[in-house]
């Protein structure tokens, strides 16, 4: 008997796990386990599975269930401690576990505990462009910056292949040991009717979105020029949710871009989209290299960082303002409302939000990383924590001050207030000058929360 334990690899295309299972030609059961700790509430009042994130995961699982059903297979969905659940199954019947390699230290801990039970484990790599063996061949030592990583990788172009789609699965294991936790039984606390997902999760939705982006709308033709926008359809690829849950393989996306380039020629836009996939690759392999250091307050720094001491009542005031989307900085508050409502926010705004959180509110950067983890439908542990550590000055290429000028960013990326006024309609009658004056406390908007920490004052650029 063999069990294929899916985690962030909710697809059939380019999936090494299904090939491993088929090669063994033994009865197979396919499972997904939602870890119960995802619903635990931490000291700051956060869980790891917010409403939007849960909604996207649910639709991804429903889609996978339908796809497997077409192959006459079931998807068994379980809830609890992964190690304890697999131990219960193993006590009933021995099996070989086929599952993805560990991304984060938490997953490495699960696999170590499972191995200690005597369960045979066979791992595969579904998350990255390159395999561990290739990374060992390419890199004699771990590069400390992305630029070094990129230069090395680009010496080995297209050194990965996309596996053919599965045509036939192994023999079905007809009697599952534990009952299915059906999608209809999704926890009530995650049925928030205020959530507004732009797209459903799942492999079908992901493939259709990729087709639309590259081939139907050809939005890739303006990717580099529009990727920093804050609002609108197709200003960026928005493939990240499908990558995060493994509904799309990064290798599949890369090869689709190559096909696009073969048809329409490579340009700065297609090259930049591939560059973003390499950034993702860098963060993934970096996390595996550095382990749990990435999750410590000092991050990857070897020296000791002594943070400025902030009175506890100020810390709590700032934290509550952040959680309530009432920091008094409309650009930040609009991003928080959008994130809470849709589970998504543009990359440019994420950087501004993180900068304000770290440098103005002066809160622990790890709280911000966990806040994003709770809400983002495209939460990717390596990219999320890597980017927060980078902005906090404790990640790669560590520098003490990577701080954004919020007012300058607002003038450049939302000068007509389209994003702010969409998510904060109470400010629909305000001008850019009004918002900038409010954010700097030069002249407050009477009915809007006063900034808990004002932004830096800059000269206001006249609007033409």
> Residue 20 belongs to a domain with what CATH number?
3.40.50.620
Backbone angles phi, psi at 62, to 5 degrees: -60, -45
Report the half-sphere exposure of 152 (CA within 13 A, side-chain side): 19
DSSP 421-462: HHH-GGGTT--HHHHHHHHTTSS--TTSPPPSSPPPP-PPPP
How far is Cα 379 from Cα 243, in angstroms, rounded to an integer?
9
Q: How far apart, in whole angstroms, are the C-alpha atoms of residue 4 and residue 6?
A: 6
Is 193 contained in some domain? Answer: no
At 365 the pLDDT is 97
pLDDT of residue 423: 98
Q: Are 411 and 435 in contact (CB under 8 A)?
A: no
182 lies in some domain: no
Residues spanned by the domain of 423? 312-439
Domain boundary among 295, 320, 339: 295
Task: Please indicate, yes or no, if residue 166 is contained in any of the structural domains.
Answer: no
**CATH number, domain with residue 368:** 1.10.579.10
pLDDT tens track for 165-187: 655 555 554 434 344 444 434 55
Same domain, 290 and 329: no
Q: Looking at residue 290, which CATH number applies to its domain?
A: 1.25.40.80
- Binding-site positions read 223, 236-240, 378-380
Is 93 found in the same domain as 80? yes
Q: Find the helix packing angle between 82-92 and 105-116, rounded to 10°.
A: 20
Counted domains in the chain: 3
Q: Are residues 341 and 214 in the same domain?
A: no
pLDDT tens column, 216-273: 999 999 999 999 999 998 999 999 999 999 999 999 999 999 999 999 999 999 999 9
Residue pLDDT, tens place only, 302-313 = 887 777 789 999
Annotated binding site for FAD: 223, 236-240, 378-380
Whether 328 is in a domain gets the answer yes
Using an 8 Å Cβ cutoff, are 328 and 449 in contact? yes
Q: Does residue 113 share a domain with residue 78?
A: yes
Which helix or strand (DSSP H or E) is residue 99 part of?
A: strand 96-100
Residues 267 and 409 in one domain: no
Question: 269-327, pLDDT tens digit by residue?
Answer: 999 999 999 999 999 999 999 999 999 999 998 887 777 789 999 999 999 999 999 99
Pick left, alpha or beta for residue 105 (phi over 0 → left; psi -120 to 50 → alpha; otherwise beta).
alpha
Long-range contact pairs involving 110-113 (C-beta distance under 8 Å, separation at least 24): 110/82, 110/83, 113/83
Q: Is residue 184 part of a domain?
A: no
Residue 272 placed within a domain: yes
50 shares a domain with 27: yes
**Per-residue exposure over 380-415, b if at least 16 CB sit within 10 Å of its own CB, e if not:** bbbbbbbbbbbbbbbbbebeeebebebbebbbebbe
The token pair at 11 is 């697809």
Let me know whether 258 and 331 are in one domain.
no
**33-56 confidence digits (pLDDT tens):** 999 999 999 999 999 999 999 999
**What does each C-alpha distance from 349 to 213, 413, 449 come to in angstroms?**
22, 9, 20
Instruction: Convert the pLDDT of each residue in 370-417 to its tens digit.
Output: 999 999 999 999 999 999 999 999 998 766 667 899 999 999 999 999
Same domain, 344 and 418: yes
Sign for the CA dihedral angle at 12, 13, 14, 19 comes to: positive
My answer on whether 222 and 369 are in the same domain is no
Pairing type for strands 2-6 and 28-35 reads parallel
Dig out the tokens for 433 from the structure: 């000058």
Burial tier of 433 (Cβ tally within 10 Å: 0-12, 13-18, 19+):
middle
Is 143 found in the same domain as 110?
no
Candidates 109, 442, 437; CA nearest to 292 is: 109
- Residue 232 CA to its chain's centroid (Å): 20
Task: In whole angstroms, give the CA distance from residue 31 to residue 76.
Answer: 5
Q: Rounded distance, CA 200 to CA 58, Å?
A: 9
The residue written with tokens 């993934």 in the block is 284
Output Rg (C-alpha) for the chain, integer angstroms.
Answer: 23
Answer yes or no: do 131 and 1 share one domain.
no
Q: Are residues 276 and 342 in the same domain?
A: no
Q: For residues 416 and 407, give the distance between their C-alpha atoms in angstroms, rounded to a whole number.
A: 13
Percent of the chain with pLDDT over 90: 74
Q: Is 379 within a domain?
A: yes
pLDDT of residue 141: 84
Do the bridges between strand 2-6 and strand 96-100 make them parallel or antiparallel, or are there none, so unpaired?
A: parallel
Phi, psi at residue 23, to the nearest 5°? -65, -30
Q: Please, are residues 61 and 106 in contact by the beta-carbon 8 Å criterion?
A: no
Given a contact cutoff of 8 angstroms between Cβ atoms, the answer to whether 195 and 342 are in contact is: yes
| 177, part of any domain | no
C-alpha pair distances (Å), 134 with each of 124, 130, 440: 14, 6, 51
Show the tokens assigned to 133: 């063996």
Domain end marker among 261, 295, 329:
295
For 326-349, what is each residue's pLDDT tens digit?
A: 999 999 999 999 999 999 999 999
Out of 107, 126, 145, pick the residue that ends a domain: 126
């Amino acid at each position: 008997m063999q069990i294929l334990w899916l985690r962030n690899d909710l697809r059939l295309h380019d999936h090494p796990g299904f090939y491993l299972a088929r090669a063994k030609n033994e009865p197979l059961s396919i499972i997904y386990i939602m870890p119960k700790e995802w619903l635990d509430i931490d000291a700051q009042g956060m869980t790891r599975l917010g409403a939007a994130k849960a909604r996207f995961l649910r639709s991804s699982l429903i889609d996978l269930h339908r796809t497997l059903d077409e192959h006459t297979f079931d998807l068994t969905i379980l809830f609890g401690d992964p190690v304890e659940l697999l131990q219960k199954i193993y006590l009933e019947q021995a099996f070989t576990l086929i599952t993805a390699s560990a991304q984060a230290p938490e997953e490495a801990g699960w696999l170590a505990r499972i191995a200690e039970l005597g369960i045979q484990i066979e791992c595969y790599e579904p998350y990255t462009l390159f395999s561990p063996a290739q990374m060992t061949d390419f890199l004699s030592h771990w590069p400390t910056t992305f630029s070094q990583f990129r230069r090395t990788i680009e010496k080995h172009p297209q050194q990965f292949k996309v596996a053919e789609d599965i045509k036939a699965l192994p023999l079905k294991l007809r009697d599952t040991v534990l009952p299915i936790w059906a999608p209809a039984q999704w926890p009530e606390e995650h049925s928030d009717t205020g959530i507004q997902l732009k797209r459903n999760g799942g492999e079908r939705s992901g493939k259709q979105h990729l087709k639309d982006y590259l081939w139907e709308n050809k939005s890739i033709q303006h990717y580099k020029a529009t990727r920093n926008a804050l609002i609108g359809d197709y200003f960026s690829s928005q493939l990240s949710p499908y990558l995060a849950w493994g509904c799309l393989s990064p290798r599949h996306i890369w090869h689709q871009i190559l096909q696009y380039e073969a048809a329409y020629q490579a340009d700065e836009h297609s090259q930049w989209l591939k560059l973003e996939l390499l950034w993702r690759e860098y963060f993934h392999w970096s996390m595996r290299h550095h382990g749990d250091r990435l999750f410590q307050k000092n991050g990857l720094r070897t020296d000791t960082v002594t943070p400025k001491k902030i009175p506890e009542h100020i810390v709590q005031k700032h934290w509550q303002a952040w959680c309530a989307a009432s920091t008094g900085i409309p650009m930040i508050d609009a991003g928080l409302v959008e994130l809470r409502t849709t589970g998504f926010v543009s990359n440019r705004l994420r950087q501004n939000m993180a900068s304000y959180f770290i440098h103005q509110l002066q809160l622990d950067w790890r709280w911000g990383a966990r806040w994003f983890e709770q809400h983002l439908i495209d939460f990717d542990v390596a990219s999320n924590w890597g980017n927060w550590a980078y902005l906090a000055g404790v990640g790669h290429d560590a520098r003490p001050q990577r701080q954004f000028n919020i007012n300058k960013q607002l003038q450049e990326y939302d000068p007509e207030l389209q994003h702010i006024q969409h998510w904060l309609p109470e400010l629909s009658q305000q001008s850019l000058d009004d918002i900038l004056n409010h954010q700097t406390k030069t002249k407050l908007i009477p009915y809007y929360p006063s900034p808990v920490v004002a932004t830096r004052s800059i000269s206001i650029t006249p609007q033409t």
